[in-house]
Structure 1
Amino acid sequence: MEGYGTFENFSLFGGPLHRLAGRLGLVHKGRSAFALGLALGLLSWSILFALALIEGVGSKFYSLSVIAAHVRLLFVIPLLFLCESLLDVRLRAFVSLIVRSGVVPNNALPELETEIARTNRWRDHWLPEAICLLATVLLTVVAAQMRLSGRTTGSELGYAISEFRLAGLWYWMVCLPLVRFLLFRWLWRIALWWCFLWRLAKLKLHLAPAHPDGAGGLGYLEVAQTYFFPLVLAISALMSASFAEEISSGISVFEAIYPALAITLILDLVLVLFPPCFFAFKLRVCQERGLSDYSVLAARYVNDFDRKWLSAPGSQAEPLLGTADLQSLADLSNSVAILRNMRLVPVSTRLVITVMVAALLPMVPLFLFKYPVAELVQKIVSKLAGL
């Protein structure tokens, strides 16, 4: 398609941080940004560890009371950039697919190109990341003031690591704000993606009612949304580590994780499953139109089939074996079945399960506080042995 290369420029990921990383050789066009996340996480953690050794508190550095610091720096930050790298390729592929497959017809391509240009322009603008940085600074200042006035729970804000003088200062002033900034930055990217899909749903799309993907040709959107799982995993891991700190410090009880777990799961499901809902109205209209059109077509074909094979004189003498009429009738029935089972949202149970696994998996180690491994193994062996 002429001018198709324009639509391959779509991307949610860029901005001042990426440009700075590009100058440092950590990010190159068309390559993964995971190296940038790994460098940021390892560098900040290495300095934190070095400061803890200098202070002579290295033995306390690996206790459960400071596990959230390790998770934030060594797990969450790299995962955020891994998600960025994996997702960018799939989102670009989705935009490319809806152009190549004709879901966006030729007369709507200029509008799509305008939306892509708008998204790319805001992606690269300095203002959103400046606002994220300002929000990070304000949150850090407010959190510090609340902590000094004794209005926060110690473990929630890393009380144990605050007992380390140099390491605590580095963690509070650099590491924690870095993680907050990256999370705010991700919120901006998610908002960009939601706005793009909302505007895409407003275009005059050419959805195929009997498309084999069962979503009018939008089925690949589910594949793209699946690659949000590293982000979901990072959020859940952060929650799990924070609860581990609180439970090990005696500030919170194990039962407190249940409502937080439910809220986290709901938020993760909304994050991944809500954007495809923007197309629900168009897919419903597409299904109704398809059922109407295919019902008329099916009626015509069945009437012609009856006249030829049941009502016409001498029809009984014609051989049924080898005729394409029966296969065509079956194919038409399959098309109508696809229409009746058409998804009104391009989402399946597979995506729901993926999100739930990513959200719940980091929470599993928390159950060791309530059910120690040794006790569990002993109970299992006792049950199996009938003791």
Structure 2
Amino acid sequence: MMDGQLNVGRRALIVAAVGWAPLVVLAGIQSAMRSDGVLSLLWELGAHARYLIAAPLLILAEAQCAPRLNAIVRHFADAGLVTDKDRGRYDAAVASTRALLSSNTAEIVVIALAYLCVSAAAFSLSFDQFPAWHKTGALAPAFSPAGWWHVLVSLPLLLTLLFGWAWRFALWAHLLWRIARIDLRLLASHPDGAAGLAVLGYSLRAFSLVAMAPATIVAGRSAQIVLVHGALSKDTTIFSAGLLLAVGALFAVPLFFFTPVLMRALQRGSFEYGALANQVGFAFEEQWVGRNRLADNSALERPDFSATTDLYAIVANVYSLRLVPVDLKSIASLGVALLLPFVPVVFMALPAEQILADLKNLLF
């Protein structure tokens, strides 16, 4: 394992230790005075999903996301998609993005925004809406030690990680927007079906762990509702599904920046390769097609047929060019990341007797 991966793993453990473990310890201490302190927290599936799974995922995503996005950006130069005359604009876009990525000001703004959101949420909720472990249980409304740790450390830490990734994604989208405005050297007949830009679709795979984090938060809340009420309401199901679709669509939005570029490549390639296919086709027909054209066994050894077939295969690549540089495997990878956290929720929502009955029906 590389040192960077070890560092990411340690940071993920630290995030879980800081965001989740003190809540359990403080709620346990609170149980010495109130019997439902730690028990109410242990049954709070949403809290476990947020601080024990989602927050560490946002740290672990760095080891997967950053190298893949860097490789995608380097591909524009390494594959010759950026010409020498536009190399300065490309280098400037990459350099400015890296400078903003390491900006201390941005980090301060992200942290301040996280605490601002926590404050707004805490003051907008009535005291009765907070869970039992969040309150002391005294006559006067007051937060418990676990509650104070939650609003001062755990929740701001989670939101800082989420907003940090939102900032990185915004920089990624802005970088792609700037690159898409460069006169790229695209090959309409490229076998990847996207004029040489198919690698952009791999960004969906790079962001899969990032997408899994908010999905885990939503799944944790859904699991809590199923645990308490036995089923999800229609409104909750629609909200969860809509949020997942919005998250998935968000990561695909920057790829549409290249749609106008690909449309121009398709238009140009259709005319140029179409004309070439016509010329070769006419020559082929003059040579081999007609009532007076007799073919013998020697025709099988002639290169005319294979050359024409190869050319037509290249032309077919042009006409099948995708206007959005994304493939089904990348979409499926992102979809699995969004849906995987809901597998336990499905099993919780379905009665055990029904699951056993359906398993038996698979065998008989």
Normalised by the length of structure 1, the TM-score is: 0.82
**Residue 354 of structure 1, aligned match among 319, 333, 336:** 333
Comparing 192-201 with 268-277, which one deviates more in the overlay?
A: 268-277
**Residue 26 of structure 2, aligned match among 24, 27, 51:** 51
The one-letter code sitting in structure 1 at the alignment partner of 2:213 is A
Equivalent residue, structure 1, for 2:10: 35
Equivalent residue, structure 2, for 1:225: 204
Equivalent residue, structure 1, for 2:171: 192
Is the Cα contact below 8 Å between 1:48 and 1:170 reproduced in 2? yes
Cα deviations by residue, 1:102-144 (Å, 9 ceiling, x for unpaired): 1111211110000011101111111222111111121122222
The one-letter code sitting in structure 2 at the alignment partner of 1:343 is R
Equivalent residue, structure 2, for 1:102: 80
Is the Cα contact below 8 Å between 2:5 and 2:63 reproduced in 1? no
1:326 and 2:305 equivalent?
Answer: yes
Distance 1:144 1:84 in 2: 30
**Residue 88 of structure 1, aligned match among 44, 49, 66:** 66
Q: What is the Cα deviation at residue 203 of structure 1?
A: 0.4
Alignment RMSD (CA, Å)? 2.8
**Residue 268 of structure 2, aligned match among 281, 289, 294:** 289
Distance 2:195 2:278 in 1: 23
Residues 144-163 of structure 1 aligned to structure 2 (within 5 Å)? 144-147=122-125, 149-150=126-127, 154=129, 159-163=131-135
Distance 2:236 2:336 in 1: 17
Q: What is the Cα deviation at residue 204 of structure 1?
A: 0.5
Q: What is the Cα deviation at residue 212 of structure 1?
A: 0.6
**Residue 158 of structure 2, aligned match among 179, 190, 207:** 179
Q: What is the Cα deviation at residue 226 of structure 1?
A: 1.4
Cα deviations by residue, 1:174-218 (Å, 9 ceiling, x for unpaired): 101110111111111111011001111000101100001000001
Is the Cα contact below 8 Å between 1:45 and 1:74 reproduced in 2? yes
Residue 99 to residue 204, structure 1, CA distance change in 2 (3 Å): same
- Secondary structure (helix, strand or coil) at the match of 2:350 reads coil
Is the Cα contact below 8 Å between 2:40 and 2:132 reproduced in 1? no
The one-letter code sitting in structure 1 at the alignment partner of 2:80 is G
Stretches of structure 2 that go unaligned for 5 or more consecutive residues are 137-143
Distance 2:70 2:6 in 1: 14
The one-letter code sitting in structure 2 at the alignment partner of 1:54 is I
Is the Cα contact below 8 Å between 2:277 and 2:311 reproduced in 1? yes
Distance 1:301 1:269 in 2: 45
Is the Cα contact below 8 Å between 2:20 and 2:51 reproduced in 1? yes
1:238 and 2:213 equivalent?
Answer: no
Q: What is the Cα deviation at residue 98 of structure 1?
A: 1.6
Is the Cα contact below 8 Å between 2:255 and 2:325 reproduced in 1? yes
Q: What is the Cα deviation at residue 59 of structure 1?
A: 5.2
Stretches of structure 1 that go unaligned for 5 or more consecutive residues are 1-26
Q: What is the Cα deviation at residue 256 of structure 1?
A: 3.2
Distance 1:328 1:31 in 2: 53
Equivalent residue, structure 2, for 1:113: 91
Distance 1:246 1:309 in 2: 73
Cα deviations by residue, 1:344-380 (Å, 9 ceiling, x for unpaired): 0011232332222222222232234542223431465
Residue 333 to residue 60, structure 1, CA distance change in 2 (3 Å): same
Is the Cα contact below 8 Å between 2:18 and 2:154 reproduced in 1? no
Residue 31 to residue 303, structure 1, CA distance change in 2 (3 Å): farther
Distance 1:378 1:232 in 2: 34
The one-letter code sitting in structure 2 at the alignment partner of 1:363 is F
1:270 and 2:249 equivalent?
Answer: yes
Equivalent residue, structure 2, for 1:6: none
Distance 1:32 1:215 in 2: 37
Comparing 279-288 with 350-359, which one deviates more in the overlay?
A: 350-359
Distance 1:32 1:293 in 2: 52
Normalised by the length of structure 2, the TM-score is: 0.87
Q: What is the Cα deviation at residue 315 of structure 1?
A: 8.0
Distance 1:314 1:119 in 2: 64
1:74 and 2:52 equivalent?
Answer: yes
Distance 2:7 2:303 in 1: 51
Distance 1:351 1:102 in 2: 24
Is the Cα contact below 8 Å between 1:310 and 1:316 reproduced in 2? no
Residue 273 to residue 32, structure 1, CA distance change in 2 (3 Å): farther
Residue 385 to residue 368, structure 1, CA distance change in 2 (3 Å): closer
Residue 384 to residue 306, structure 1, CA distance change in 2 (3 Å): closer
- Secondary structure (helix, strand or coil) at the match of 1:344 reads coil
- Secondary structure (helix, strand or coil) at the match of 2:284 reads helix
1:345 and 2:346 equivalent?
Answer: no
Distance 2:7 2:320 in 1: 38
Q: How many residues align?
A: 352
Distance 1:145 1:314 in 2: 88
Cα deviations by residue, 1:250-290 (Å, 9 ceiling, x for unpaired): 59953333211221122122122211111011101101111
Distance 1:111 1:300 in 2: 39
